[in-house]
Structure 1
Amino acid sequence: MTTPQEDLLPPTRRALLHRIAVAQSEGRAPSLVAAVVRGGKTVWNGSRTSVDGHGPDENVQYRIGSITKTFTAVLVLRLRDEGVLDLGDPLEKHLPGTGAGEVTIADLLAHTGGLAAESPAPWWERTPGSLRPELADVLGEQPYRHPVGRRHHYSNPGYTLLGALVEELRAAPWEEVLRREVLEPLGLHRTSGRPQAPHAGGWAVHPWADVMMPEPVQDLGRMASAGQLWSTTGDLARFAAFLTQGDDRVLSAESVREMRAPAAPPEAADLTAGSGYGLGMQVVHHDGRMLVGHSGSLPGFLAGLLIGVENDVAAVVLSNCTSGPPVLSVAADLVRIVAEAEPRIPEPWRPATEVDQWALGLVGQWYWGTQGFGLRWAADGEVALEPLSGIGRRSRFRANGDGSWTGLDGYYAGELLRAVRRPDGSVSHLDLGSFVFTRQPYDEEAPVPGGVDPDGWRGIQ
């Protein structure tokens, strides 16, 4: 019997409310709305506002800025999974004539293409997209700032190119493709390219006085795929659940896991801040916890979505001010509050329903040279190789169906693990990316590279 996911306890709910209340007050935000997801469903909503008698709920739209990039990345990964493109393809192969065709699609997703962070002046976030009708207007005469593939450099024009790529390969506008392939299947009916009532207005709060001024709302035109969307905490909570679990109608669990994995070498400043980047998703280390998601900002709005995959908790925070509450940190704190106050109750252990005799014959102790490792087989078909001392390389492996396994994480990610048998069918050793693992340290009956001294083990003579 599966343990049901219950609503959050009153002390937890109060701690969440207190955190967003402090954020709205100290951040001097006209309003702030938040949601928490656990076990794939929304378990808490909260809001704070400067307007008496009114509080935005989970259906009020805010502009989400660069969280839009994660939606665009989902569309690109769908094209990859369909075999329409490969992430290693140069952009020129599918979208010729941009002047930035040497960058790969993976470079664009991970912001390693060396492209400029912003489009040429005037400031694109506060001017109409009609000023930049063509990709050449977005990229400018000198689109590059760094060598391609050498460093992580966040690029809004890069995601504009990805939106154009989607349009080229789907033969339809980016927003139309997004609605058909992502928003409608996931039930994100309150996410749109233009604001739909009820929606919050965007404000600039004076840095030295408690007064406000409305911010203009601009259609980003060609740059829509980098930051155009409006959404709600209700919709983004459902999107966070999808980014945690996947949904085969949109993108598999394996592909969303790939999006969450670090894909770009961090800069020194990123290492200090504890952040990195995957394929359309930020990777954040906060209070010893790895979180994935994205932040967003446009004049008048701040947005943050973070997922603690290990804890199965996600949080969304939206606010309607140009600068103010540190929404990504607030989202991280909401995840922490729930994860610490109400740690996830694990599913009951169950034995396997089918026994993989091949894997069962390989479990136990193995040696790489003189270092001991344990190979464990789980009911889900994965095997895990871990150092017995707790120190050293460890990885999980997925079965390939032919008696071999492919590494999923750690040093051996992508490497092949296979058992090598003798002519009589007995197992000689494990081969892992050319490393030989034997049942005994330097087993003389296994083909240990360099051979084994014929006199064997001995003490000081």
Structure 2
Amino acid sequence: MNALPEDQDLLPSTRRALGHRIAVAQNEGRAPSVVAAVARGGALVWEGARGSADGHGLDGNVQYRIGSITKTFTAVLVMRLRDEGLLALEDPLEKHLPGTGVGEVTVRQLLAHTGGLAAETPGAWWERSSASLRPELSDVLGEEPLLFEAGRRHHYSNPGYTLLGALVAAVRGKAWEEVLRTEVLEPLGLDRTTVQAQAPYADGWAVHPWADVLLPEPSEDLGLMASAGQLWSTTRDLARFGRFLLHGDEQVLDMESVREMAAAAAPAEPGLAEFGYGLGMQLTESSGRRLVGHCGSLPGFVAGLWLNQAEDVVAVVLANCTSGLPAGSLAADLLTIVADAEPLFPEPWRPFAEADPAALELCGPWYWGPAPHVVRLRSTGELELGPAGALGRAARFRAEPDGSWRGLNGYYAGETLRAVRRPDGSVSHLDLGSFVFTRQPYDTEAPVPGGVDPQGWRGIGPGPVGPARRSTRA
């Protein structure tokens, strides 16, 4: 994590509010310990801890099990394979991992939990039983692995991410944990994120629901299920990982790919995924703000990692209790405290050093039929097209080598915007996915689909608008 610039530090009142929030959560959730961290702008700006742990103090270096946050790490490995051209997200699993019996399910569907697979493994509860009970993928999937038709609904599946871990191992020719260490953990400097616990680490506990007493939880090696929930980590490592998920890192995945992971790829499922699911990333909303990240749990542990992309803030919460403390919602609360108390300052406006004349020529008002729109050129080099003073479709566009522009978001994501020029080189109109934008409403000199009435714009003369009516009075 970067050194802390003075202007990134939090106000004392904000720090106290964060500390108070985790103190209340630890007390009311009856967790033996809870550790938390907030990072902003790439710097660790706050750490907090409550409770105690046997044999060591509590800080951002103590390991806890992070459960299903492991899935986001596995998804990063799969996206790396895609970016290297070793697979496509639309590939059926069978193409790279034959013989599973669910080979028609695609890589994308597994990432987004839309493959139709069961939520859990058959037999004993896999999180609290020996991995020796599931030595093969067939033991993980069972005789009836598919509950739904692939692609029809979001249904969270732990076996699905076991398959993705096996896919990574098959394509790389190495064990999932080795690939994770060399391709993600080491490049990002996550030296306290490991497959097996490394001291100092917290013990996992169950808290009696009606008495203030504890029961130790077993810590099983998950075997083939490791890629769905095995990892141990710390708040400091997860804060650093969260920054990567916000901005990317050319050593692992670029920003475009991590943003793709954070975009909705699965439909919403009321009560389970109200805001959809990305590619290894959960989506939610808290206090009107869109958050992305993941929650996790294993017997004895709960974990939450949430990112506020708009405010460039990461929050992490780890606790060593099986239930009682909602780590995910607590992490979301920490983001809300920071965003409400200390909203992010916008970047200073800066003009272009040198603007592209061809792009500058496109700026100003355009009309889609009678609807006014405006094109703006930003100092990022992107075009923005949106309605002028009214609701409607808006999007950003990136310049392409052939002189066209590719949509980056919204309705026009992936669509091509072209400036159509007259023989003298001047711009006649814009073509956007068959929509024609002209400099005047329904410009007669532009090829408006359906043509333009030759009588042009006109008013309605005096007299009745509809057919004349005969009076029925005598």
Output the CA distance in 2 between the equivalents of 1:55 and 1:9. 25
Q: Which amino acid is the alignment partner of residue 19 of structure 1?
A: R
Q: Please give the alpha-carbon distance, in whole angstroms, between the structure 2 residues aligned to 1:245 and 1:341.
A: 23
| Pairwise CA distance, 1:349 | 1.1
Paired position in structure 2 for 1:431: 431
The separation in 1 between residues aligned to 2:43 and 2:390, in whole angstroms, is 35
Q: Distance in 2 between the 1:123 and 1:34 partners?
A: 29
CA contact (8 A) 1:46 1:57 kept: yes
Is the partner of 1:314 in helix, strand or coil? strand
Counterpart amino acid of 1:307? L
Find the aligned partners of 1:340 and 1:115 in 2 and give their Cα distance: 40
- Once the two structures are aligned, what percentage of the paired residues are identical? 70
Do 1:193 and 1:229's aligned partners in 2 also have CA atoms closer than 8 Å? yes
Judging changes above 3 Å, is the alpha-carbon distance between structure 1 residues 240 and 51 closer, same or farther for their aligned structure 2 residues? closer
Are 1:334 and 2:334 matched, yes or no?
yes
Paired residues of 2:193 and 2:231 also in contact (CA < 8 A):
yes
Checking the alignment, whether the CA contact within 8 Å between 2:66 and 2:232 is kept in structure 1 is: yes
Alignment of 1:207-246 (within 5 A): 207-246=209-248
Q: Distance in 1 between matches of 2:364 and 2:402?
A: 21
* From 141, 144, 160, the counterpart of 1:142: 144
Matching residue's letter, 1:296? G
Distance in 1 (alpha carbons) for counterparts of 2:370 and 2:299: 60
Task: Choose the corresponding residue for 2:39, options 9, 32, 37.
Answer: 37
Q: CA deviation at 1:268?
A: 2.9
Q: Unaligned regions of 5+ residues in structure 2, if any?
A: 462-474
Q: For 1:54-65, what aligned pairs fall within 5 Å after superposition?
A: 55-65=57-67
Paired position in structure 1 for 2:359:
359
- Residues in 1 aligned to 2:116 and 2:57: alpha-carbon distance in whole angstroms: 43
Aligned twin of 2:166? 164
Alignment check: 8 A CA contact 1:115 1:153 kept? yes
Give the CA deviation at 1:276: 1.8
Aligned position for 2:203:
201
Distance in 1 between residues matched to 2:120 and 2:370, nearest whole Å: 53
2:464 maps to which residue?
A: none
The 1:270–1:387 alpha-carbon spacing in structure 2 relative to 1, beyond 3 Å, is farther
Deviation at residue 390 of structure 1 after TM alignment:
3.4
Structural mapping, 1:223-372, within 5 Å: 223-270=225-272, 274-372=274-372
Higher mean C-alpha deviation, range 298-307 or range 333-342? 333-342
2:100 is matched with which residue? 98
TM-superposed CA distance for 1:402, in Å, is 2.1
Residue identity opposite 1:315 in structure 2: A
1:415 corresponds to = 415
User: What is the CA-CA distance between 1:424 and the residue it aligns to?
Assistant: 1.6
Is the Cα–Cα contact under 8 Å of residues 22 and 50 in structure 2 kept in the other structure? yes
In the TM superposition, what is the alpha-carbon distance from 1:384 to its structure 2 partner? 0.9
Please tell me the residue identity of whatever aligns with 1:314.
V
Q: Is the 8 A contact 1:203 1:301 kept in 2?
A: yes
Inter-partner Cα distance in structure 2 for 1:86 and 1:95: 13
What displacement does 1:234 show? 0.6
Post-superposition CA distance 1:33-75 (Å, at most 9, x none): 0000100111100000056996410000000000000000000
Partners of 1:379 and 1:163 lie apart in 2 by: 41
Structure 2 Cα separation of the partners of residues 52 and 322 of structure 1? 17
Look up the match of 2:405: 405
The alpha carbon displacement at 1:269 in A equals 2.7
Alpha-carbon shift at residue 389 of structure 1 (Å): 2.3
Give 2:235's aligned amino acid: T
Once the two structures are superposed, residues 318-345 of structure 1 have per-residue CA deviations (whole angstroms, 9 ceiling, x without a partner) of 0000001111111111111111111111
Matched, 1:379 2:379: yes
Deviating more after overlay: 346-355 vs 12-21:
346-355
After superposing the two structures, state which structure 1 stretch, 355-364 or 42-51, moved more. 42-51
C-alpha distance in 2 between matches for 1:416 and 1:276: 27
**What SS class does the counterpart of residue 295 from structure 1 fall into?**
strand
Residue 172 of structure 1 aligns with an amino acid whose one-letter code is: K
Change (3 A) 1:291 1:76: same
Query: Secondary structure of the residue that 2:423 maps to in structure 1?
Result: coil
Judge which range, 294-303 or 332-341, deviates more: 332-341
Q: CA RMSD in A?
A: 1.3
* Cα distance between partner residues in 2 of 1:6 and 1:304: 23
One-letter amino acid of the structure 2 residue matched with residue 88 of structure 1: E
Structure 1 moving runs of 4+ over 4 Å? 50-55
- Where does residue 107 of structure 1 map in the other structure? 109
Q: Which consecutive residues of structure 1, in runs of 5 or more, have no partner in the other structure?
A: none
TM-score, normalising length from structure 1?
A: 0.97
Tell me if structure 2 keeps the 8 A contact 1:47–1:55.
no
How far residue 4 of structure 1 moved from its aligned partner, in angstroms, is 6.1
Taking structure 1 as reference, are residues 126 and 51 closer, same or farther at Cα in structure 2, changes over 3 Å only?
Answer: closer
Q: Is the 8 A contact 2:56 2:200 kept in 1?
A: no
Answer whether contact 1:87 1:104 (CA < 8 A) is retained.
Answer: yes
Map of 1:48 onto structure 2: 50
User: Which range moves more in the overlay, 401-410 or 244-253?
Assistant: 401-410
Contact 2:119 2:155 in 1 (8 A): yes
* AA aligned opposite 1:293: G
Work out the CA distance in 2 between the residues paired with 1:430 and 1:374.
12
Q: Which moved more, 1:327-336 or 1:399-408?
A: 399-408
Moved more, 284-293 or 400-409: 400-409
**Alpha-carbon displacement from aligned partner over 1:212-260 (angstroms, at most 9, x marks no partner):** 1000000000010000000000100000000001000000010000000
Q: Structure 1 residues 270, 441: closer, same or farther in 2, change over 3 A? A: farther
Which structure has the greater CA radius of gyration?
2
Contact 1:290 1:308 in 2 (8 A): yes
Q: Find the partner of 2:179 among 177, 180, 183.
A: 177
After superposition, the Cα gap between the structure-2 partners of 1:84 and 1:207, relative to the gap in structure 1 and judged at 3 Å, is same
Amino acid paired to 1:12: T
Q: Which residue of 2 aligns with 1:118?
A: 120
Aligned length: 457
Paired residue secondary structure (1:162): helix
Q: Is the 8 A contact 2:8 2:40 kept in 1?
A: no
Give distance in 2, aligned partners of 1:213 and 1:311. 40
Alpha-carbon offset, residue 25 of structure 1: 0.5
Tell me the distance in 2 between the aligned counterparts of 1:130 and 1:369. 67
Distance 1:55 1:15 in 2: 22
Distance of 1:178 and 1:160 partners within structure 2: 14
TM-score, normalising length: structure 2: 0.95
| Equivalent position of 2:467 in the other structure | none
